[in-house]
Amino acid sequence: MLEKTNQVNLLFDFYAPLLKGKQREYLELYYLDDLSLGEIAEMHEVSRQAVYDHIKRAEKQLFEYDQKLRLAQRHEKRMEVLARMSELVNELAEGETRDELNTLLHQLSEMD
Amino acid sequence: MLEKTNQVNLLFDFYAPLLKGKQREYLELYYLDDLSLGEIAEMHEVSRQAVYDHIKRAEKQLFEYDQKLRLAQRHEKRMEVLARMSELVNELAEGETRDELNTLLHQLSEMD
């Protein structure tokens, strides 16, 4: 369950803007804010089943988007490359070039 | 028109997998293969209007996806950073570190 939570959280980071209103909202409350189905149902005055259905559909959507665009996988690969570059850069002699390269590496990882 | 063609081509690179069958197919024939609406209509034995509608809808979809995910913009920014890093790396003394950094920079730009 924890692994699935992490996976959904990761995919949510990439694809949340593509999800529709309620799907996105309930998924966020359930996975990111860690509310129970019952709590979300009460908060929105809908049935627990309705919340469950929205969340299941949203999860499915996230996995489908990722199967098509592979953003999570591409992100992970880029991060690996950046980590190796960071090692190499830090082996360089201290100086402006090393500093600027580190700044740019940092920018790249923040952008991702 | 040329600018729009370029823009659609760029967005197509990022979001094509999200487009539905006919929309993707006609858009590809029109923008990437440079066929006319009439030629596509004839090839698929549908009306010119049907082809036009699919293409317009597909274009709209691409722009909507990009408004939500901003992949094209993020790509462009990453490319700028990589270009600057490449300059800096090439100013380093020749050697294994420089070579590996160049290889990794190349990998990053290919991945994007």
**pLDDT digits 0-9 by tens, A76-88:** 999 999 999 999 9
Same domain, A93 and A51: no
Whole-number pLDDT of residue B1 = 60
Same domain, A32 and A61: yes
Q: A17 at the B interface (CB within 8 A)?
A: yes
Same domain, A81 and A95: yes
Same domain, A46 and A86: no
Same domain, B63 and B77: no
Same domain, A45 and A58: yes
A15-65 confidence digits (pLDDT tens): 999 999 999 999 999 999 999 999 999 999 999 999 999 999 999 999 999
* Whether residue A14 has pLDDT greater than 80: yes
CATH classification of the domain holding B28: 1.10.10.10
B9-26 confidence digits (pLDDT tens): 999 999 999 999 999 999
Same domain, A64 and A11: yes
* Whether residue A3 has pLDDT greater than 90: no
* Mean pLDDT per 10-residue interval, chain B, length 112 residues: 84 95 94 95 96 96 96 93 95 92 94 82
**Total length of chain A:** 112
- Residue A68: list chain B partners with CB under 8 A: 17-18
Whole-number pLDDT of residue B3 = 84
Whole-number pLDDT of residue B5 = 87
Same domain, A83 and A29: no
- DSSP secondary structure letter of residue B93: P
Q: A13 at the B interface (CB within 8 A)?
A: no
Q: At A46, give phi and psi (nearest 5°).
A: -130, 175
Residue A111 pLDDT class (50, 70, 90 cuts): confident
Range of the domain at B43: 2-69
A84-108 confidence digits (pLDDT tens): 999 999 999 999 999 999 999 999 9
- Residue B78: list chain A partners with CB under 8 A: 108, 111
Same domain, A107 and A63: no
Q: A80 at the B interface (CB within 8 A)?
A: no
Nearest to B68 among A17, A82, A89 (CB): A17
Amino acid symbol at B8: V
Tally of domains within chain A = 2
Amino acid symbol at B99: D
- Residue B86: list chain A partners with CB under 8 A: none
Tokens, residue B17:
């997998």
How far is the C-alpha of B48 from the C-alpha of B85, rounded, in Å? 48
Whole-number pLDDT of residue A1 = 60
Same domain, A53 and A16: yes
Whole-number pLDDT of residue B54 = 95
Q: Which residues 6+ apart lie within 8 Å of B105 measured at CB? A: A85, B82, B85, B86, B89
Instruction: Note the Cα B54 to chain centre separation in Å.
Output: 19
Same domain, A10 and A56: yes
- DSSP secondary structure letter of residue A16: G
- DSSP secondary structure letter of residue A18: G
Coil vs helix vs strand at B95? coil
Coil vs helix vs strand at A112? coil
Same domain, B38 and B90: no
Residue in chain B closest to A92 (alpha carbons) equals B97
How far is the C-alpha of A40 from the C-alpha of A52, rounded, in Å? 10
**Total length of chain B:** 112
Whole-number pLDDT of residue A5 = 87
